[in-house]
Amino acid sequence: MRTASLDVRATASLHAFPRVGFVVPKYKHSGVERNRVKRRLREIVRLHMLQLLDPAVATTPLDLVVRVFPSAYARDYETLRTELLHALRRLT
């Protein structure tokens, strides 16, 4: 599932719990900017997505990989949250 600044891929997990990984290439940005994007994505997952990925709620646990496009560096927290939640809802 692609959004304007994210590519989200999901597969059934072999484990009894969900896992989420992030791919945040540099795209000529500094380490500070890269870490800011990663922190934002981790916080979105922690606050909003873990409930949706919980094995008690979901039929099967998912492994998610979120790849960031260059436009994600310019997005604020709310925009990233909206895109990531929208992608997850379409995948589940």
User: Is residue 35 situated within a structural domain?
Assistant: yes
* Confidence grade of residue 42 (pLDDT, cut at 50, 70, 90): very high
For every residue of 2-46, DSSP letters joined together read B-SSEEEEEEE-SSSS-EEEEE---TT--HHHHHHHHHHHHHHII
Q: Domain range for residue 83? A: 6-91
Q: Structural domain tally of the chain?
A: 1
C-beta separation of 20 from 49 below 8 A: yes
Per the domain annotation, does 21 fall within a domain?
yes
Whole-number Å distance between alpha carbons of 80 and 76: 6
- Which of 60 and 23 is assigned the larger pLDDT? 23
Average pLDDT, the chain: 88
The Cα 32–Cα 37 span in angstroms is 9
Tell whether the model's pLDDT for residue 50 goes beyond 90.
no
The whole-number pLDDT of residue 61 equals 77
Residue 1 lies in a domain: no
pTM, entire model:
0.85
